[in-house]
Amino acid sequence: MGGRIGWTRCGCCGQPEAAVSKTDKGTLSITCHKCQFSAFAKPGTKAKRLIEAAMTPDDEGTETPPKGDNQPAPSAPPARQGFGTILG
Ligand SMILES: [Zn+2]
C-alpha cells in the first residue's frame, strides 16, 4: 500500500529528508515534499539497491516515532549493601 519505510537525500534539490516508500509489489519510491521530485525503483534493479543502501530506515516496528517527553526512565541499580560485613 505504499507504506513509508524511511528517508533519503533528495536527488533533485538535495534536502536530506525525502520520504522513501515501498509498494506492495516491492517497488521503492522517493518523494520530496520540498521540490515535488519523485522517483521509482523496481525490485531487482541497481537503483533499488542504491536507494536501500543510501536511505535511513524508520525505526523498526515503530510507525510514528514518539516525540516529546517519552524518554525511558534511567534504570537505577537496586541498593545493595550490608552483605560484606555479615560474611566477614
Ligand atoms: Zn527535492
40 has pLDDT over 90: yes
Sign of the CA dihedral running 27, 51, 14, 21: positive
Range from 22-26, 27-31, 37-41, 62-66 carrying the lowest mean pLDDT: 62-66
Assign 73 a pLDDT band (cuts: 50, 70, 90): low
Alpha helix positions (H), 7-67? 46-54
Please give the pLDDT value at position 59.
Answer: 78
Ligand 1 being an ion, which residues bring their Cβ within 5 A of it?
A: 10, 12-13, 32, 34-35, 37
**DSSP type of residue 48:** H
pTM (2 d.p.): 0.64
Distance from the CA of 13 to the center of ligand 1, in angstroms? 4
CB distance 32 to 13 below 8 Å:
yes
48 has pLDDT over 80: yes
Please give the pLDDT value at position 75.
Answer: 74
d(CA 9, CA 77): 42
Angle ∠(65,3,16) on CA atoms, nearest 5: 60
